[in-house]
Amino acid sequence: MLIKTRHYAVIVTILISLVLQIMPLPIQADLYRPDWVLIVLAYWTMALPHRVNVGVAFLTGLAMDILLGTALGIHSFALSAAVYVLAANYQRLRNYSVWQQAIIIGLLSSMYHLMLFWLQHLLTDIPFQFAYLWPVVSSMVLWPWMFWLLRKARRQLSIT
């Protein structure tokens, strides 16, 4: 059983983050929904850069495109790019404190959202609103907690 959970832990956490990402919320809270998928992918990329990197991000992005009904490829583009930055610098980022990492996650998240906006702006004519960037703040706040939780899960199941 333990071996099984060990093998599937990464996939299961990504699936849970997908569910959290699409879960219906009241319209006031919806604006501040953190980027669950980006955070979980970011943790696994930093912890296991050889197992989780651009490929997994691409597939997760495709799943998000299907779930959110956007044109296929938009989320996979933005997620792959964001995860690439992490995978290329994982050794440096690992040595940062959690707060510094939170700032990095904030920067990544804003890059991710701007990329999503630009891609969709190319396809349909949508105006930019600063409200689109609220998830950046909530993701930064969420990062330390998720980092702690996922590290605990990783150590408990000794996933390498």
> Between residues 128 and 148, which has the closer beta carbon with respect to another protein?
128
* Cβ burial, residue 142 (10 Å; 0-12/13-18/19+): middle
User: Is residue 69 within the footprint of another protein (CB under 8 A)?
Assistant: yes
The angle formed by the CA atoms of residues 63, 46 and 154, to the nearest 5 degrees, is 85
Question: Are the C-beta atoms of 86 and 9 separated by less than 8 Å?
Answer: no
Q: Are 108 and 149 in contact (CB under 8 A)?
A: no
* Residue 92 found at the interface with another protein (CB under 8 A): no
Q: State which of residues 39, 47, 52, 87 lies at the interface with another protein (CB under 8 A).
A: 87
Which candidate, 36, 67, 64, places its Cα nearest to that of 143?
36
Regarding 37 and contact with another protein (CB under 8 A), the answer is no
Q: How far is the CB of 11 from another protein (least distance, A)?
A: 12
Binding site for another protein (CB under 8 A): 15, 18-25, 27, 30, 33, 50, 53-55, 57-58, 61-63, 66-74, 76-77, 80-81, 84, 87-88, 116-117, 119-120, 123-127, 129, 131-132
